[in-house]
Amino acid sequence: MSAAASNSVWNTILRRSDLLFAGAVVATILVLILPLPTFLIDVALVFSIAVSLMVLMTVIYVKESVQFAGFPTILLFVTLYRLALNVATTRSILDRADAGHLITAFGNFVIGGNFVVGIVVFCIIVTINFIVITKGAGRVSEVAARFTLDAMPGKQMSIDADLNAGNITDAEARKRRSALQDEASFYGSMDGASKFVRGDAVAGIIITVINILGGFAIGILQKGMALKDAAQHYSLLTVGDGLVTQIPALLISVAAGILVTRGPTKENLGEDIANQLLSQYRSLYAVAAVLGIFIFIPGFPWWAFLILSIGIFMLGRSVKKRSEEPGSEGSSTDGSSNKSGSAKPATTIDKMESWLKVEPLQLEIGYNLVSFLDKAKGGDLLERVTSLRKTVAAELGIFIAPIRIRDNPMLGGNQYCIQLRGSEIARGEVVPTQYLAMGVGTTARPLRGRTVTEPVFGLPATWILDAERRTAEQLGLAVVDPISVLVTHLAETIRQHSHQLLTRQDTSALLDQLKEVNAAVVAELVPTMVSIGVVHRILQNLLREGVSIRNLGALLERVADYAAAIKNPDELSEHARKALGGDLVRHLLPAGQNSLSAITLDPDLEHRIAQSLRQSPHDVSLALEPTVARHLYDGLANKMKEMASAGLQPLVICSPTIRLGLRRFFEGTFRNLTVVAYNELPERTQVQSIGMVPNAA
């Protein structure tokens, strides 16, 4: 057969391996029922030894236990296969007084034809397999399964923390979770599969005893053999059968023990043991010295100790010489090692890199809130923060950096702190075991609990126990869990500071992404008309007022219409707003209505404000007289209270000339105030004035 034909045959076999395995299981069951000729028994026993050796060699060369996840199933199959062979050989021995050439050879050659020696050797092998290897491997499997399952929540939290911190990608997180599940499944299966090996050893002993007793009975009572002849013949066959089947069982038990006792390494078992056992030349010198002393003890085989002493001493010299070579392990003066010989010394900058790194967003929590991160205790903060990032990013059209969550012992037990590039931007407090009831409700009846102010919307709220939750809901109050309070506060904080989160690097990435669908506008605008820095300022101005930049293509097309003549980012931002049309006020319109409630300004007051505008090449600001500023502040504050009491979002509509200056002047005072120009309103939008702020006297 040619090489190509041979490869084709083997490829076909590998593709049909599922059918072959199913056929092997069925054939094994048939062996339990149907008698086999002796030549098939020989082939089946040789195959059993080959499979056991193959499994053992595979275990030696795998680098992690989970890489051989099919071992428990293989263990079940080979155990069933050996037991089926035991039945077949027992039937052949008792029926035909013959079990094939292999068993006879073991009986005559391995144990020298002496059935007493054979029984002793068989008992020793079974004892080693059952008491030492199988019992130890079973105990290790049990402990490993228990520890792996107990450690799963912590490992899951570690993966989620790395994902939220941005240390790993979503794909890598899924891969690590899958590997963790595979590890737990493997050790759980091994804990049960080790019982197969123990049962196999017990079954081997029982089958051997039954074969000997049954052979005596058949040889003496049915075939008229003398007691000595029956004992000699049937005992040799039975012990030979036991040895042939117990040797594969011993190999499989050793493979199981190796698999459950080794940890994850980068080398196979032989390399791993050699690197660890033969890495210290001083220990080899000590062993050689001790063996040298035994040479002088009378009666000891001095020549054996001499050969071993010299051999181990030479091995120690070789290890020492290799360790002193440049670039080898252990040659570094600071105790580090590098197998490739290309060790890179750690510089001061390398060591300081982790200290200098500033997280874009960081959430610090007190010690009582650590349970929010533990799934076993119902904590889903990590998942909700991840979902929050995606939601806010889709809403605003920007990339929200991963949020690092860490505990801070300097905070109060129930406190949390939100930081932006190392600076605190928000702080709050929640009670892990209680619920927050918010709003005024339908009655003035007070709830039993601690009264606070809700951190996001400033509503009156009360921390209540679970027993009061139903009562609060009946009173018409909104009741939320503490994690929801924290996540909502985090979301609103991110929205308020989204313009600070957007960096020039993020702007460059957004432009690169836009090139894939609208390359023309990017090529026309950047860097021919404006720089990335100007685009960055424009997008920041929009985000600063809570305007989404998802429709980036339309925004930049509008900017490109004016960028040739205007270079001021603030003016370009005002032009970009017009490209959004109804998106600016759509969230302010009641569902199904086209009427907008707003505060307006007296035309004379608008004229005085316009005269106070100060415009530089890079900025627009408002410099009002103190009396006018105070009058405008009081007027807006009163009208905003009226809108808030009516459940309306505070909104001011004014002329486009003063819109940006007015917004900038009051953004630190009235954070929730939206300022829109008349020409930014969608067509057919009706404006209902809540009230007009009059001109100052």
Average pLDDT, the chain: 79
Between CA 495 and CA 498 the distance in angstroms is 5
Percent of the chain residues topping a pLDDT of 70? 78
Instruction: Report d(CA 405, CA 373) in Å as an integer.
Output: 9
Distance CA 521, CA 609 (A): 36
- Residue for token pair 């197998």: 339
Q: Are strands 415-420 and 435-438 parallel, antiparallel or unpaired?
A: unpaired
3-state percent helix, strand, coil for the chain, nearest multiple of 5: 65, 10, 25
Residue range 404-426, pLDDT digits in tens = 998 888 898 999 999 998 899 99
| Positive or negative: CA dihedral 345, 351, 352, 357 | positive
Residue matched to tokens 């809570």: 546
Q: Is 67 exposed, middle or buried (0-12, 13-18, 19+ CB in 10 A)?
A: middle
693 closest CA partner among 602, 608, 561 = 602
CATH number of this structure's domain 361-496, picked from the four choices 1.10.10.10, 3.40.30.60, 3.40.50.80, 3.30.470.20:
3.40.30.60
pLDDT of amino acid 442: 46
Identify the burial level of 161 via C-beta atoms within 10 angstroms of its C-beta, where 0-12 means exposed, 13-18 middle and 19 or more buried: middle
Cα separation, 682 vs 583, whole angstroms = 9
Element (H, E) at 613: strand 613-616
- Alpha helices in 218-342, H assignment, sequence order: 227-261, 269-277, 281-294, 302-323
Collapsing DSSP to helix, strand or coil, 601 comes out as strand
CA angle 200–203–209, rounded 5-degree value:
145
Domain boundaries, the chain: 17-135+186-266, 278-323, 361-496, 502-579, 584-693
Tokens of 111: 């144990």
Which two tokens mark 195? Answer: 């019982």
* 641's tokens: 């209270």
Q: Which stretch, 266-280, 437-451, 483-497, 667-681, has highest mean pLDDT?
A: 483-497
Give me the pLDDT at residue 645, please: 78
Average pLDDT over residues 461-477: 85
Tokens standing for residue 188:
């759980």
Confidence of residue 652 (pLDDT cuts 50, 70, 90): very high
CB–CB of 482/434 below 8 Å? yes
Among 208-217, 244-253, 255-264, which is the least confidently predicted range? 255-264
What's at 604, amino acid-wise?
A: D
Pick the more confident residue, 274 or 416: 416
Residue 352 pLDDT: 43
Comparing 170-179, 370-379, 453-462, 674-683, the range with the smallest average pLDDT is: 170-179
Helix spans in 397-481 (H):
469-474
Q: Give the separation between CA 34 and CA 81, rounded to whole angstroms.
A: 14
Looking at residue 614, its amino acid is R
pLDDT at 350 over 50: no
Q: Which helix (H) or strand (E) holds 435?
A: strand 435-438
Contact present, 314 and 284 (Cβ < 8 Å): no
SS (H, E, C) 31-85: HHHCCCCHHHHHHHHHHHHHHHHHHHHHHHHCCCHHHHCCHHHHHHHHHHHHHHH
Between 276 and 628, residue with greater pLDDT: 628
Peptide bond between residue 650 and the one before it cis (omega within 30 degrees of 0): no
What span, in angstroms and rounded, lies between the C-alpha atoms of 373 and 532? Answer: 39
Residue with tokens 């240390």: 167
Burial class of residue 642 in the structure, from the number of CB atoms within 10 Å of its CB (0-12 exposed, 13-18 middle, 19+ buried): middle
Q: Find where tokens 């034809």 sit.
A: 113
Average pLDDT, integer, range 272-299: 75
Torsion angle in degrees (nearest 10) through CA of 169, 175, 179, 182:
140
* H/E element, 426: strand 423-429
Cα dihedral across residues 238, 122, 198, 180: positive or negative = negative
| CA-closest candidate to residue 632, choices 566, 695, 539 | 695
CA angle 413–416–420, rounded 5-degree value: 150
Q: Is 599 exposed, middle or buried (0-12, 13-18, 19+ CB in 10 A)?
A: buried
How many Cβ atoms from other residues are within 10 Å of residue 186's Cβ? 26
> Per DSSP, which regions of 346-402 are E strands?
361-365
Q: Which of 693, 637, 624 is nearest to 669 (CA)?
A: 637
| CB contact set of 537 (below 8 Å; sequence gap of 6+) | 569, 570, 573
**Confidence at residue 507, expressed as pLDDT on a 0 to 100 scale:** 93
**Mean pLDDT, residues 664-686 taken together:** 86
Q: Enumerate residues 6+ apart whose C-beta is below 8 A from 137.
A: 194, 197, 253, 256, 257, 260, 261
Residues 584-693: name the CATH superfamily: FHIPEP family, domain 4 (3.40.50.12790)
Q: Express each pLDDT in 566-603 by its tens digit.
A: 888 989 999 998 888 777 777 777 766 778 889 999 99
CA dist 683 and 679 (Å) reads: 9
Pairwise CA distance, residues 470 & 537, whole Å: 49
pTM confidence score: 0.52
Instruction: Report the range of poorest mean pLDDT among 159-168, 518-527, 530-539.
Output: 159-168
3-state DSSP call for residue 357? coil
Confidence category of residue 191, pLDDT binned at 50, 70, 90: low
**Which is it for strands 651-654 and 674-677: parallel, antiparallel or unpaired?**
parallel
Q: What is the DSSP letter of 666?
A: H
What pLDDT band is residue 330 in, cutting at 50, 70 and 90? very low
Q: Is 226 exposed, middle or buried (0-12, 13-18, 19+ CB in 10 A)?
A: exposed
Hey, what long-range contacts does 116-120 have (CB within 8 A, 24 or more apart)?
118/235, 118/236, 118/239, 118/240, 118/243, 119/235, 119/239
**pLDDT > 90 fraction of the chain, expressed in percent and rounded:** 22
Q: Which two tokens stand for residue 186?
A: 């493997």
Number of Cβ within 10 Å of residue 124's Cβ equals 10
Q: Tokens in use for 587? A: 């969230």
Grouping H, G, I as helix, E, B as strand and the rest as coil, residue 595 is strand
What mean pLDDT comes out for the span 53-61?
Answer: 82
8 Å CB contact between 499 and 536? no
Fold of 502-579: Helicase, Ruva Protein; domain 3 (1.10.8)
Q: Tell whether the model's pLDDT for residue 20 goes beyond 60.
A: yes
